[in-house]
């Protein structure tokens, strides 16, 4: 079974703090993704990575950065957290075979006060 783990289920941070969200997968998948999920908006892609040290911006990258130093680990960084970044953050990996299924972690609910 594919396992995608995220470092925290719940996180509370203060405005201006630097926040690290970690995602680890055990299936040797090349593609990894960070989404944020907000009610009524669905999932929106923040960043994705298709290889170690490779990254591309998604639809809403502003205020975020990412790091992928090892294939199994993809980190999302909020350089200076703001209240509008309060959200559910989901990490996913993707197989390289049809039908290119994405596997999701359980999510991190981040609250910025």
By the criterion CB under 8 A, which residues form the site for other proteins? 4, 31, 33, 35, 40-45, 48, 50, 58, 90, 92, 94, 96, 98-107
Nearer to other proteins, 79 or 101 (CB): 101
**What residue has token string 């639809």?**
59
Nearer to other proteins, 65 or 103 (CB): 103
Nearer to other proteins, 16 or 101 (CB): 101
Q: What are phi and psi of 85, to 5 degrees?
A: -100, 5
Q: Closest by alpha carbon to 71, among 52, 95, 90?
A: 52
CB of 28 to other proteins, least distance (A): 15
Nearer to other proteins, 61 or 79 (CB): 61
CB of 111 to other proteins, least distance (A): 16
Q: Is 35 helix (H, G, I), strand (E, B) or coil?
A: strand
Beta strands 108-112 and 10-13: pairing type? parallel
CB distance 23 to 77 below 8 Å: no
CB of 31 to other proteins, least distance (A): 4
CB distance 100 to 50 below 8 Å: no
CB of 78 to other proteins, least distance (A): 20
């Amino acid at each position: 079974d594919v396992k995608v783990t995220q470092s925290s289920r719940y996180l509370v941070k203060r405005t201006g703090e630097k926040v690290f969200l970690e995602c680890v997968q055990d299936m040797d998948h090349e593609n990894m993704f960070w989404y944020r999920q907000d009610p009524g908006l669905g999932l929106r892609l923040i960043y994705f990575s298709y290889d170690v040290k490779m990254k591309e911006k998604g639809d809403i990258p502003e205020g975020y950065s990412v790091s992928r130093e090892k294939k199994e680990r993809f980190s999302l960084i909020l350089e200076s957290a703001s209240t509008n970044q309060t959200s559910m953050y989901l990490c996913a990996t993707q197989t390289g075979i049809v039908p290119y299924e994405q596997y999701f972690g359980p999510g991190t609910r981040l609250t910025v006060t």
